[in-house]
Chain A
Amino acid sequence: QQQVKQSPQSLIVQKGGISIINCAYENTAFDYFPWYQQFPGKGPALLIAIRPDVSEKKEGRFTISFNKSAKQFSLHIMDSQPGDSATYFCAASLTGKLIFGQGTTLQVKP
């Protein structure tokens, strides 16, 4: 019930393409869904986040789509760039505690 399942584990996209990472959860009490981006040798950093009363949030090239009935949410990276190559973690919050997905390593080829 506490798990957040993330897929795919790795993703290779051509420059200019769309990267899509999916997450699924079971516990309907989760109240906050952030995505974190991690570059090699660095700690994760907040990229974008959404609350369950909103179906979509866009910040620049990054969009979260949220499907409350399906208990799924996804990150879309439009016009993917080599500088987007990183590991992405979805997460869900329950009474403030963050539960992370397994992570997706994204490689954007020039």
Chain B
Amino acid sequence: EAQVTQNPRYLITVTGKKLTVTCSQNMNHEYMSWYRQDPGLGLRQIYYSMNVEVTDKGDVPEGYKVSRKEKRNFPLILESPSPNQTSLYFCASSLILSSVGANEQFFGPGTRLTVL
């Protein structure tokens, strides 16, 4: 089954304790992206990657890191989480986006993170 998987689905942690949220897709997509969803703010892009070893900042990258060592995986790293990073996080993937228009993005099931 074609899908984007994220782990963990739920995480409660404390301020300053490093954590990693994993994301994996089995559709051979070049493009991968991380979003956070907050009430009233919609989905905001954190980081994205056009291909292996190619990553770039989205709209809200502060406090986050990513890496793209393999095509299928795109982990999100919070080196020193803070309470304002409490949010619902989504990973998404698609075929490479062209300048003409975007291809469909496939989203993972989400990771609900609480930072105390």
Contact between chains at B104 and A43 (CB < 8 Å): no
Q: How many residues of B contact A (CB 8 A)?
A: 28
Closest Cβ of chain B to A4, distance in Å, is 8
- Chain B positions within 8 Å of A41 at CB level: 109-110
Knowing A6-B42, A102-B42, the reply to whether A97 touches B97 (Cβ < 8 A) is yes
Q: Chain B's interface: helix, strand, loop or mixed, by majority?
A: loop
Q: How far is the CA of A97 from the CA of B108 in the complex (A)?
A: 18
Closest Cβ of chain B to A86, distance in Å, is 13
B34 CB within 8 Å of chain A: no
B45 CB within 8 Å of chain A: yes
Contact between chains at B4 and A51 (CB < 8 Å): no
Contact between chains at A46 and B104 (CB < 8 Å): yes
Q: How many A-B Cβ pairs are below 8 Å? A: 65
B2 CB within 8 Å of chain A: no
Closest Cβ of chain A to B73, distance in Å, is 17
Closest Cβ of chain B to A73, distance in Å, is 14
Among B40, B97, B106, B108, which residue has its beta carbon within 8 angstroms of that of A96?
A: B97
Knowing A43-B4, A43-B110, the reply to whether A51 touches B40 (Cβ < 8 A) is no
B74 CB within 8 Å of chain A: no
Q: How far is the CA of A68 from the CA of B76 in the complex (A)?
A: 37
- Chain B positions within 8 Å of A2 at CB level: 59
- Chain A positions within 8 Å of B101 at CB level: 31-32, 51, 93, 96
Contact between chains at A100 and B42 (CB < 8 Å): yes
Which residues of A are in contact with B by a Cβ distance under 8 Å? 2, 6, 9, 31-32, 34, 36, 41-46, 49, 51, 89, 93, 95-103
